[in-house]
Amino acid sequence: MVAGGKDEGRISCAVEGYTDLPQGKLANLVVFLEMRAPFTRPSAAEPAFSLEPLPRDRDIYRALFRAVGEDWLWSGRLRLSDAEFDALLVDPDVEIFALVENGERIGLMELDFREPGECELAYFGVVPGVIGRGAGRFLMNEAVSRAFARPIDRLFVHTCNFDHPGAVNFYKRSGFTPYKLAVEIHDDPRLLGLLPRDCAPHVPFLDPGSR
């Protein structure tokens, strides 16, 4: 339920009103949320759910990343070079887990501890077919528990209006508090060939070559 990135605004906007975007660009409203102390809610997860470290293999990661995030235009990890990806995968301050059901990977959780004293829930989500079955709650409880097992002052995350429409409320129910809004402008990953052109139909696709 989250698109990754660092805890910082991407643009500064001082003028109200409409602003045209250059061809091939997208803009989304980003909501930043944080948790200062561990908080968990009772989980009604099915017994078949379990959490396993994801193998440190870029192809395995990318496949799960796509399965979870394609509908929401996740592309951050797809933009990394192989060398950048390999450096991330071997970093001991980045913990990556898969949610598993009956031997199948159905969710992704990435905890980034590279900034002292804090943890970013960099990527978090489940495949579309299991949304609403308690998988997200099970995964979130694991995220909070594992994040605060280290000596951190806060756990933070961000989501945007390209994400699942229930994402912000899910994070608030999970104990996160919104603290900042930002607008992010970036290249449409569908035009870059990183994602299929027909994915994320809730985000209009404008093909410059069709005009």
Give residue limits of the domains in the chain: 27-188
pLDDT exceeds cutoff 50 at 168: yes
pLDDT exceeds cutoff 50 at 103: yes
Mean residue pLDDT of the chain comes to 90
Please give the pLDDT value at position 14. Answer: 58
Please give the pLDDT value at position 9. Answer: 40
Give me the mean pLDDT over the 192-199 stretch: 95
The residue ranking higher by pLDDT, 71 or 3, is 71
pLDDT exceeds cutoff 60 at 10: no
Give me the mean pLDDT over the 156-176 stretch: 95
Give me the mean pLDDT over the 179-183 stretch: 96
Please give the pLDDT value at position 5. Answer: 45
Chain centre distance of CA 49: 20
Please give the pLDDT value at position 15. Answer: 66
The CATH class of the 27-188 domain is alpha beta
Angle at 177 between CA 66 and CA 201, to 5 degrees: 30
Quick one: pLDDT band at residue 6, thresholds 50, 70, 90? very low
Element containing residue 179 per DSSP (H, E): strand 177-187
Distance CA 123, CA 103 (A): 21
Quick one: pLDDT band at residue 16, thresholds 50, 70, 90? confident
Quick one: pLDDT band at residue 65, thresholds 50, 70, 90? very high
Query: What pTM does this model have?
Result: 0.89
Distance CA 100, CA 1 (A): 17
Give me the mean pLDDT over the 15-28 stretch: 89
Distance CA 125, CA 181 (A): 21
